[in-house]
Each structure stands twice: as structure tokens, then as C-alpha cells.
Amino acid sequence: MQLTVWTYEGPPHVGAMRIAASMRGLHYVLHAPQGDTYADLLFTMIERRDTRPPVTYTTFKAQDLGADTAEIFKIACRDAVERFQPEAIIVGASCTAELIQDDPAGLAAALALPIPVIPLELPSYSKKENWGAAETFYRLVRTFAAAAQPKTVRSMRPAGERSCNLLGPTSLGFRHRDDIVEVRKLVEGLGVAVNLVAPLGASPSDLARLPEADFNVVLYPEIASTAADWLKRNHGQPFVSIPPIGVGATAEFLTAVAELAGVPPPAAAPTNLRMPWYSRSIDSTYLTGKRVFIFGDATHAVAAARIAADELGFVVCGLGTYSREFARDVRAAAAHHGVEPLISDDHLAVEDAIIAAQPELILGTQMERHVAKRLRIPCAVISAPVHVQDFPARYSPQMGHEGANVLFDSWVHPLMMGLEEHLLGMFRDDFEFNDTVAPSHLGHSTAPAGVAPDESTLVVLDRPVAWSGDAEKELRKIPFFVRGKARRNTERFAAERGLHTITIETLYDAKAHYSR
């Protein structure tokens, strides 16, 4: 067993908690010891919710293990139903409580509660968070959208009158809140009504309305593909499973939805779609060929690779996922981009792969953001797990046409803008801007007579200070218009400390000193 300090996914009961926190009228009774209540912070601190997730913990203690922990669970169930009065409850055990084998499902069934009880069997030591969320959503759909007689084919409404369900968005999902708004605009723009969004914002009783739609739209396969497959087998509902992330994928998504709706796809892109023009502009084309390493959940990683290569002109030098259940999709995408796929939930293995690939941009999770910071490589977050800054107050979708605009800004801006870099390179050694000469507007290459130097910038040395080759090379990376000041500050810093050779470390120590 490997000790994990950082992990891309929590245990499956955290996935079940995400579903409970996403829905209305659903409560989760979790058999868990005191330490497992940490999960509340994921929602209140990271997602910035103004309420606690709808979870009741049994919070048994060590001394309770010698008594009746099963009775503690039964009391917690009764109290939760009486206090919160939910439409339904889901029951299960955390990874720690699983070891004492109290059987929450059997205990809850024996209570004969007046509301539906959905037992969850989530193997904590072989499955992860996204699987737990998918399994929980599937169990809820099976319970509340059960078919009296399964049918694999259904009669659809006339073209132009059809509706769909949007499946997959959850609490703690990466930009799910804003993606729903954008996707709703897309489908309603085709004349397709949205019957239900689930699980986010739905109640258990709402799930009974899922079969009323003509087809389903799976936005996040990691969460909703299992439920969508069941709805297709039992209610004959076809589904679209093309996440509309990026310009090309959004166009394909609209075509697929239009086909199921029996309407023509849009003839032209909307006027608010700015990414294609921006990516063709001179400033952006200068970035063509930048090497990018991509890692995240399968949905966002595969989409990011397509956008990077086909829409921004980057070169994909690494592609991977921690979503083992969707490894086949990532392997196929990696083969298309000519790279070796990385299927791993070990953040240290991902860091090693990044170092080996030597990218100029990293698109990943909050784990890769930390790696990028250490390696001083530009980075943008594209996938969960994320931190608080990735739940912005502003509207910031990843899907649809506005999502494409957001992606352009998020990915390109961490890189030095092409025109800026081009100008710095053009004028770095120009006679007028070179830091070894005086400004041209003062005359020639020397300062005019009668102008006293600023004593605050003078450096008095007992002996000359030498610059190492690496330090000089690093100094040349500083923009020409501030390079002279950086040189003087560094030499003063070295002189005050009796240093006779300036290294890269001295340069950065001086920078830190004068930045205080």
C-alpha cells in the first residue's frame, strides 16, 4: 500500500456526497468515524457554498467500537429523517467504517422509514470519487425513473417539439455551474426544450420526469454515462455524449443534438465567438508550436488536447488522465497526437513526465499548478481537482462558444504574449534601447555634461564584481528597459555582502531583496 499525500480523487463516498450536495431533498447518512467529517470543507471552503452539505455522520469514536456501532447508525438515520425531512436518503459507509462491517443498507431497511432509502455499496479500497458519484447517480435514477416495462426504442415527438435532459453536472465539478447556462443556451437555440438538469439542482422526485424527454445529453461522461446507458436500455432514450468544449467540439455537439431533435444545425457561428479570430491574429500565431503537457479527468484532457492542437496550433507533448475507467479514450487521443499516454493517479509520476517532456505550457489540475510553479512553467487549470480560485465569482464556463473564449484567455495569457516577446527580441540589441548606452533623446551614447548621477544608484566596490556566464545570460532575459536597473541593484546587493562573483542565485536573491 502506498502512502498518499496528494490525491486526484477522494474515496467513493466523497463522490456520493457530491451527488447529495448537488440535489434538493436528498440526504446522505454516512457511517463514519470523527476524522472522516473533513469532507465538509470541500464544499464550504473550496466551493464556497453558504450551507453545509446535506450529510449526517454517525461520528463514532474509538471507545464505541467495543459497544454497538450499529445502533449509533440507526439513531443517526431516524434523527436525520426527523430533522431534515428529506424526500429520500442514501446510506453508506466511509472507507474507515467499511472495515467494521455494520451493513448500513440492512440496518436502514430494517428501520422501515417513511421515505425511500437507497443503499450504496461503494468499495472504498478499489474505486474512487468519480466512480462513486456515477454509481450513486445511477442508483438514484434506477430507483426514481424505474420503467414498468423496459423498452429499447421509443416514439419521439414531432421534429421541433422535442426535449432533452442535461446529465452530469455536480457540486465540486469544474465550472459545472456555468457550463449548464451555456449548454442550455445552445440547445434552446436549436428549439429544443430542456426537460431536466440532473443531478445538479434536481430533487429525487424530479428524476421520475427523466423519461419524459426524447433524448439525453451527457455533459460529463465520468458522472452520467452509466445512468444514460440505463435510460437508453430501459426507456429507449438515445443520448449525445460529445462534451462541447472548444469550437470544433461545440459544432459537432450542435450537429448531433440537431439530428436527434430533427432540426437543422446552425448555419453559422454566433457573433460572440471570438476565439477563432483571436487564434489567427498575429499575436497568437507567434505562439504556434508551443509545447503543451495536458493532464486531468478524461473529458477535459481529451478536449484540451484537441483544442491545443487543432485550434491554437500548440504541439501536444504529453497527455494523460487519472480516470482509469476512461483510459481507453485517452489512449486513443494520445495515439492521435503521437504521444505516449500517461494513465496514473500518482502525482509524482505526472511530475516526472512533465520534466521529461519539457513543455512550455501545462494544462492540468491544481496538482500540476504546484508542479508548474516549482518548475517556473506557465500553467492553466482545466480539470478537477481544483482549489478555491477555480470557483470564480464571475461567469466562466468551459463549454460552448463563450467557453471557447474563456479557454483562449485562460491558456494563452499565462504565456508571454507573442507580440510583446517579438518586440523585446527585435529591440534587445538596438542602438537606441541597449542598456549599455544612454537614452537617445539625451544626445549620443554618453550622458550630457552637467547632469549629476543619482547617488542612490552608485555602487562603490573595493574590487570589480564579476558576472558568471549563466547570470549574464539570465540577466539578458529581463526586458531591456529595466535591465540596467536590475544590473545596478544586483551589483549593489553583491557589494554590500562582499560577493565577488554574481551567480544566478545572487541575481534572484537581489530581486527578492528589492521586491520587499
Here the CATH number for the domain that contains residue 51 is 3.40.50.1980
Among the listed residues 499, 473, 498, 475, the one whose alpha carbon sits nearest the alpha carbon of residue 487: 475
Task: State the Cα angle at 348 between 347 and 349, rounded to 5°.
Answer: 90
> What b-and-e string marks burial along 177-213, b requiring 16 or more CB atoms within 10 Å of the CB?
bbbbebbeebbeebebebbbbbbbebbbebbeebbeb
pLDDT of residue 101: 77
Evaluate if residue 194 carries a pLDDT over 60: yes
Evaluate if residue 307 carries a pLDDT over 70: yes
Q: How confident is the model over 249-272, as a mean pLDDT?
A: 90
Lowest mean pLDDT among 133-147, 177-191, 347-361, 409-423: 409-423
- 116 with 153, same domain: the answer is no
Residue 19 lies in a domain: yes
Evaluate if residue 286 carries a pLDDT over 80: no
pLDDT of residue 421: 55
- 209 with 308, same domain: the answer is no
- pLDDT category, 423, cuts 50, 70, 90? low
d(CA 26, CA 20): 6
Lowest mean pLDDT among 300-314, 331-345, 494-508: 494-508
Catalytic residue numbers read 283
- 96 with 200, same domain: the answer is no
pLDDT of residue 445: 47
* Omega prior to 199 cis, within 30 of 0: yes
- 248 with 172, same domain: the answer is yes
Residue 452 lies in a domain: no
- 36 annotated as a binding-site residue: yes
Edge-to-edge strand ranges of the sheet holding 291-296: 341-343, 315-321, 291-296, 361-364, 379-381
Residue 447 lies in a domain: no
- pLDDT category, 457, cuts 50, 70, 90? very low
pLDDT of residue 417: 54
Q: Mean pLDDT, the chain, as a whole number?
A: 87
- 288 with 387, same domain: the answer is yes
Express each pLDDT in 82-93 by its tens digit: 999 999 999 998
- 262 annotated as a binding-site residue: no
pLDDT of residue 465: 84
- 394 with 300, same domain: the answer is yes
- 292 with 411, same domain: the answer is yes
pLDDT of residue 257: 97
Under 8 Å CB-to-CB from 488, ≥6 apart: which residues? 457, 459
* Omega prior to 385 cis, within 30 of 0: yes
- 286 with 403, same domain: the answer is yes
What is the number of structural domains in the chain?
A: 4
Q: How confident is the model over 112-129, as a mean pLDDT?
A: 92
Q: Give the range of the structural domain holding residue 492, as residue numbers without chain letter.
A: 466-515
- The pTM (predicted TM-score) of the whole model is 0.80
pLDDT of residue 202: 98
- 284 with 326, same domain: the answer is yes
